[in-house]
Structure formats: C-alpha cells, structure tokens
Amino acid sequence: MKNILMILIAILIFSCSKDENNPISHYDLKVDENIILDNGKCLRIIDKEYEICLNSINDSRCPSNVVCVWEGDAAVEFNFKSNTENKFFKLHTNDNFQQDTIINNLKIKLLNVFPYSDFNNPTNQSDYSAELSISEQ
C-alpha cells in the first residue's frame, strides 16, 4: 500500500510539472497591452481562438559598437493561425518597411526586438524576443 501511494504521488508531481518542450505560451488578449514573445514561441489569444507564433528573426541592425551607413533592420517572421486560416507575415523594426498588420480585426504591431545586436557578442536565435502590441480594431 505504501508503494502504491508513493507511485501515485510521483505521477501527480510529474503530471503537474511544467513541460519545457511545449512551445506554446498562453496569454489572454488585453487590448492595447504590449507583449514580449520569445523566438520560437506562440501566443494563444484564448477568447478569440487565435494563435500567433514567432518563427524567426533576421537581425541586420547596426551593432551597438559599430559605425554603420544605415541603421539596419530586424525582420521578424510570424504565423497567424485560426480555426479557418493559417497566414504567414513579416514585420520590421525599420520604419521604411512594414511594422504592423491587421488580421481578423486584430492589429499586430512590432515595437522592438531584443537583445540589440552587439558585434563582439553574436546573439543566438533562441535568445531573441519581440515586443508586440496587439489590439482589436
């Protein structure tokens, strides 16, 4: 009986532990609130049954310790999923390129990409994150 109790406790502990391999991050949509989304993670907008995934970041911004001809750009690739559609889109940090989009009455705007590039310390893809503003239109 004591062994069965220990097994049940172990099962309970493992079933309640955080799954580090799960790429989905759950958030409730709050209008006009900024959200930071890690590269390779998804944002589920529960009340809308939408999901926005950050697929990759291509950072060509001028590194902080270098003098450049232009400021550069970080291009962020996303995937928007709903029950009826699956759309890929790209947003940029440079205001010469698209910085926001509207999909299904949601305005998605890229505000920033972190960390800022440093020539002496290259950033791994897994260390990037993007700050987004998501609001209902």
Q: What phi-psi label fits residue 87: left (phi over 0), alpha (psi between -120 and 50 degrees) or beta?
A: beta
What is the distance between the alpha carbons of residues 6 and 60, in angstroms, rounded to a whole number?
54
- Cis status of the peptide bond prior to 115, with omega within 30 of 0: yes
Q: Which residues of 16-47 are buried (b: 16+ CB within 10 A; e: fewer)?
A: eeeeeeeeeeeeebeeeeebebbbebbbbbee
The DSSP bridge pattern shows strands 129-136 and 106-114 to be: antiparallel
Question: Tell me: the pLDDT tens digits for 100-126?
Answer: 999 998 999 999 999 998 888 888 989
Work out the percent of the chain whose per-residue pLDDT is above 70: 77
Helix, strand, coil percentages in the chain from 3-state DSSP, rounded to 5 = 15, 45, 45
What is the distance between the alpha carbons of residues 57 and 33, in angstroms, rounded to a whole number?
22
Q: Is the pTM of this model over 0.95?
A: no
Question: Tell me: the pLDDT tens digits for 67-89?
Answer: 999 999 999 999 999 989 999 99
Domains of the chain listed by start with CATH number: 20-136 (2.60.98.10)
Residue 136, CA atoms < 13 Å, CB-side half-sphere: 8
**Cα separation values, 75 from 48, 110, 121, Å:** 26, 10, 20
Scanning the structure block, which residue is given the tokens 């529960």?
Answer: 46
